[in-house]
Structure 1
Amino acid sequence: MSIEIHQVSKKFGQQQVLQQVSFQAKPGQVLGFLGPNGAGKSTTMKILTGYLTADEGEVLVKGISVARYPKISSKLIGYLPEHNPLYPDMYIPEFLRFVGGLYRLRGRDLAQRVQTVMEQCGLMPERKKKIGLLSKGFKQRVGLAKSLVHDPEIIVLDEPTSGLDPNQLVEIRQLIKNVSRDKTLILSTHIMQEVEALCDKVVIIHKGRVVAQDLLEHLKSGQEESQLVFESEETLAPEWLEDLSYSKLSRPNPTTCVFSCPDSKKLRLELMRLVQERNVNLVSIRQQENNLESIFHQLTQH
Structure 2
Amino acid sequence: MSIKVENITKKYGQQKALDTISFAIEKGEIVGFLGPNGAGKSTMMKILTTFIPASDGVAIVNGFDVNKDPIAVKKSVGYLPEHNPLYLDMYVREYLLFNAGIYKIPKSEVDSVIEKTGLTAEANKKIDQLSKGYRQRVGLANALLHDPEVLILDEPTTGLDPNQLIEIRQLIKNVGQEKTVLLSTHIMQEVEAVCDRVIIINKGKIVLDKKLQDLKNNKQQIIEVEFDYRVEDVALRQLPKIEKVENTIGFVYQLYFDTDQDMRGKVFDFAHDSGLKILQLHQKNTTLEKLFSELTIQK
TM-score, structure 1 as length reference: 0.81
1:25 maps to a residue whose letter is I
Query: In the alignment, is residue 14 of structure 1 matched against residue 10 of structure 2?
Result: no
1:199 to 189, 195, 202: 195
Pairing 1:18-97 to 2, within 5 Å after superposition = 18-97=18-97
Greater shift, 209-218 or 129-138, is seen at: 209-218
Pairing 1:281-292 to 2, within 5 Å after superposition = 285-292=281-288
Residues 206 and 260 of structure 1: CA distance in aligned 2, closer, same or farther (over 3 Å): farther
In structure 2, the partner of 1:235 is none
Q: Which runs of 5+ in 1 are unaligned?
A: 232-239, 250-256, 271-275, 277-281
Find the aligned partners of 1:68 and 1:26 in 2 and give their Cα distance: 22
Query: In the alignment, is residue 116 of structure 1 matched against residue 107 of structure 2?
Result: no
Find the aligned partners of 2:151 and 2:64 in 1 and give their Cα distance: 16
Find the aligned partners of 1:165 and 1:229 in 2 and give their Cα distance: 36
Find the aligned partners of 1:5 and 1:50 in 2 and give their Cα distance: 13
Preserved contact between residue 18 and residue 205 of structure 2 (Cα < 8 Å):
yes
Preserved contact between residue 222 and residue 256 of structure 2 (Cα < 8 Å):
yes
Greater shift, 291-300 or 34-43, is seen at: 291-300
Preserved contact between residue 200 and residue 215 of structure 1 (Cα < 8 Å):
yes
Shift of 1:185: 0.6
Preserved contact between residue 154 and residue 185 of structure 1 (Cα < 8 Å):
yes
In structure 2, the partner of 1:183 is 179
Query: In the alignment, is residue 146 of structure 1 matched against residue 167 of structure 2?
Result: no
Preserved contact between residue 223 and residue 290 of structure 1 (Cα < 8 Å):
no
Preserved contact between residue 29 and residue 185 of structure 1 (Cα < 8 Å):
yes
Query: In the alignment, is residue 212 of structure 1 matched against residue 208 of structure 2?
Result: yes
1:137 maps to a residue whose letter is G
Q: Deviations over 1:59-111 (max 9, x none)?
A: 10122101111101100000001111111000001111122222222xxx1x1
Find the aligned partners of 1:223 and 1:44 in 2 and give their Cα distance: 33
Aligned residues: 275
Over the matched positions of the two proteins, sequence identity in percent amounts to 50
Shift of 1:285: 4.5
In structure 1, the partner of 2:274 is none
Q: Considering only aligned residues, what root-mean-square deviation do their CA atoms show, in Å?
A: 3.1
Preserved contact between residue 9 and residue 21 of structure 1 (Cα < 8 Å):
yes
TM-score, structure 2 as length reference: 0.82
Q: Deviations over 1:136-186 (max 9, x none)?
A: 100000010010011101000111111111111111111111111111011
Preserved contact between residue 222 and residue 254 of structure 2 (Cα < 8 Å):
yes
Find the aligned partners of 1:144 and 1:248 in 2 and give their Cα distance: 50
Residues 132 and 289 of structure 1: CA distance in aligned 2, closer, same or farther (over 3 Å): same
Preserved contact between residue 96 and residue 110 of structure 2 (Cα < 8 Å):
yes
In structure 1, the partner of 2:239 is none
Residues 52 and 121 of structure 1: CA distance in aligned 2, closer, same or farther (over 3 Å): same
Shift of 1:286: 2.3
- Runs of 4+ in structure 1 over 3 Å off: 219-224, 226-231, 243-249, 257-270
Preserved contact between residue 33 and residue 202 of structure 1 (Cα < 8 Å):
yes
